[in-house]
Amino acid sequence: MSGNRSRLPVAIVAGPHADARRAAVEEILRTVPGSVALHHDLTSAVDGAVHRTVRDARGPLSGGDAPLVNDCACCALREDLVPELLRLADQGEHRLAVVELWDSVEPQAMAAVVAGVGAPLVLTGVATAVDPALVLPYLSNGDDLIEVGLAAAPTDQRTVGDTFARQLEYPTVIAVVEGGSCGDDVECADETDRALLDQLTPGARKVPVTSGELGAALLAGFDADAGAARVHPACALLPQECDEHGVSTLVWRGERPFHPGRLYAALEDLTCAAVRSRGRFWLADRPDVLLSWDAAGGALCVESAGPWLAALPDAAWEMVPAERRLAVSMDWHPEHGDRCQYLTFTSPGLDRDGLSAVLDSCLLTDEEYAAGRDRWTQLSHAFDELLDPVTP
């Protein structure tokens, strides 16, 4: 049977705003003849299974349950998704398969699954459906997913805010649904809401669901490798400097390393200064380690993203993705190489001057910098509780 499979374009639609997501999927089914949608509902995972539905514009076509894999609903989704897509390809009747992800499922992981299969599946688009009026409340939500019934596994430690941020920043298309949340509790989107969405998603095309263009946008093609590079800490496409409709983005750069003790003492103020901040940075006591900064909803995640390219032997550069090599070649420092401070902060009412002053104060002073690298590595290892201890 596999030799007779027809090429099947696949598009992914993600997002925690269920009404917006469903509206986007329904619009695709209505405007793309021969399209079909798959959805795995993870709310039933507490009963040991994930429920799957397949539908087209006329209604349900089939359904079923996928058992949990290692007590993980997302794992069950991955195990069940590919066979279902291949079954649809075998039928040879569909122009597009739309994978509608559940509320907290992030599109990057599912895009990698689909792209990794290869023929006959062809990943042609990834979108997150968004109601602009809900961007700020969702980004500001520091609740753990497990507390609000949206965890994909018992060990899921993500929060609502950081999950939504990644759902926004990975796709090349933002499906905008406005008006569905207007009511007594939530106001309609205003210019501030739209400015926040625009500043957070600089590389994504905004497509109103009512425009009739969403289906075509999701058939245009999608490069999963480029998508991964777009959000990788080493070469991420970060927001640009902006100040519009009460929303600001501060792009802060520095050449010197941070003093680990002073930066650690300022973490709470820096994390709460903006609804979303991210980027890459380096610490004086870990001069060869590229560190990622990822904050939303008042919660900060600091992780090692591997070595800076300047810390690698020349022979290892060939193993580094071309996107990263190109990115560092544009901004190479004669002494530090690609080591840099590159952080962005986006928020309504951002205190740009105050934030810059705090960040500047965390850099090494002239005297500390002049002491040299051997002395830097002897500074207090204040980030040990967030990162692995420094190797002596």
Give one DSSP letter per residue of 357-385, joined into a string: HHHHHTBPPHHHHHT-HHHHTTS--TTTT
The full set of domain ranges for the chain reads 2-231, 242-376
Instruction: Look up residue 371 and give its amino acid.
Output: A
User: For 300-310, what is each residue's pLDDT tens digit?
Assistant: 999 999 999 98
Beta strand pairing status for 49-56 and 8-14?
Answer: unpaired
User: For 30-88, what is each residue's pLDDT tens digit?
Assistant: 999 999 999 998 886 656 778 899 999 999 999 888 887 776 767 778 888 999 999 99
Which residue in 203, 200, 201, 226 sits closest to 327, CA to CA? 226
Outline where the chain has alpha helix (H).
Answer: 18-31, 73-91, 107-117, 135-139, 160-169, 191-200, 214-217, 224-231, 260-265, 267-271, 322-329, 352-361, 366-370, 373-376
Q: Sign (positive/negative) of CA torsion 360, 361, 365, 366?
A: positive
Q: Give the pLDDT band of residue 389 (cuts 50, 70, 90).
A: low
Question: 159, 144 in Cβ contact below 8 A?
Answer: yes
Topology given in CATH for the domain delimited by 2-231: Rossmann fold (3.40.50)
Question: 295, 271 in Cβ contact below 8 A?
Answer: yes
* C-alpha–C-alpha distance, residues 284 and 366, integer Å: 13
Q: Please state which CATH number belongs to domain 242-376.
A: 3.30.1220.10
User: Angle at Cα 292 formed by Cα 161 and Cα 125, nearest 5°?
Assistant: 60
User: For 227-267, what is each residue's pLDDT tens digit?
Assistant: 998 899 988 889 999 999 999 999 999 999 999 999 999 99
Q: Is 318 exposed, middle or buried (0-12, 13-18, 19+ CB in 10 A)?
A: exposed
Other residues' Cβ atoms within 10 Å of the Cβ of residue 56: 16
Question: 50, 60 in Cβ contact below 8 A?
Answer: no
Predicted confidence at residue 69, as pLDDT, reads 73
User: For 100-117, what is each residue's pLDDT tens digit?
Assistant: 999 999 999 999 999 999
Q: Is 187 exposed, middle or buried (0-12, 13-18, 19+ CB in 10 A)?
A: exposed
Question: 297, 141 in Cβ contact below 8 A?
Answer: yes
Query: What does DSSP assign to residue 263?
Result: H
Per this entry, what is the length of the chain? 392
Give one DSSP letter per residue of 127-162, joined into a string: EEEE-GGGHHHHHT---BGGGGT--SSTT---BHHH
Q: Give the pLDDT band of residue 181 (cuts 50, 70, 90).
A: very low
